[in-house]
Amino acid sequence: MLINVSEAKANLSKLVNMAYQGEKITIAKNNLPLVDLVVHKPENKRKIKQAFGLYKDKKTDGLVFQKTVRDEW
């Protein structure tokens, strides 16, 4: 769907919903295509969960580690 900037401004919420449902939305100025409205694809959440488990096997708790760092400095 090709839509002018002024129409896109007036109907942005509707256009976002249409793009989310898979329709291709192209925004134009003076009938020249400028940009496409696309859906953001989130990154894999598994990577974030893996980061939380990096230190699960460490025996030192946070306060002990903090004291060690301060003593070394």
Residue range of the domain that includes 21: 2-72
Q: Answer yes or no: are the C-beta atoms of 25 and 19 closer than 8 Å.
A: yes
Q: How confident is the model at residue 7 (pLDDT cuts 50, 70, 90)?
A: very high
Cβ burial of 3 (10 Å; 0-12, 13-18, 19+) is middle
Q: How far apart are CA 64 and CA 29, in angstroms?
A: 61
Q: In the chain, how many domains are there?
A: 1
Q: What's the pLDDT tens digit per position in 23-61?
A: 999 999 999 999 999 998 877 666 666 666 666 666 666
Higher pLDDT, 63 or 5: 5
Pairwise pLDDT comparison (23 vs 65), residue with the higher score: 23
